Amino acid sequence: MAMGFFGARVAVAAPQVLVLNPGNTEARLHARSALTDIDDSFAGVSGRLQYDLDRQTCHVNLTMDVGSLKVGSAVMKQVMLSGIMLDSDAHPTMRYVGECRPRIVGGEVHSQLVGTLTMRGEGASCHV
């Protein structure tokens, strides 16, 4: 509790933590090549989302098991996991770490997730 105007007690919401798992989280992969577009997801995900509704902020730390990539065909999965693409033998996980950045658009709060996606051992800035 915090003190507000005229000594009234005001409830302050504490930051909340949500454990991310396959039951409540979906991590999708979109890849475009000269031959085809690939839209698939990872079955193995884990991490944490900490959020503060009062401040409209959050922090996410999500790990994806590269070998759990769900792809339509066994041949395509083999290509995707090979050293040509995701290289799951050398890099068995991908990781996303980011922060929510609230902004006002048309009088409403909108959040953008800004962070770093690390795949194949290399990190790159990413905005969602």
Measured in whole angstroms, the distance separating CA 40 from the mean position of its chain's CA atoms is 15
- Encoded amino acid at 18, one letter: L
The pTM (predicted TM-score) of the whole model is 0.78
CB count within 10 Å of CB 74 equals 8
Provide the pLDDT confidence category of residue 128 given band limits of 50, 70 and 90: low
Query: Domain map of the chain by residue range?
Result: 15-127
pLDDT tens-place string over residues 58-113: 999 999 999 999 988 888 899 889 998 899 999 999 999 999 887 778 888 777 88
- pLDDT at residue 11, as a whole number: 61
CATH of 15-127 among 1.20.58.100, 2.40.128.110, 3.30.70.920, 3.40.50.10470: 2.40.128.110
DSSP state of 6: G
The reported pLDDT for the residue numbered 50 is 95
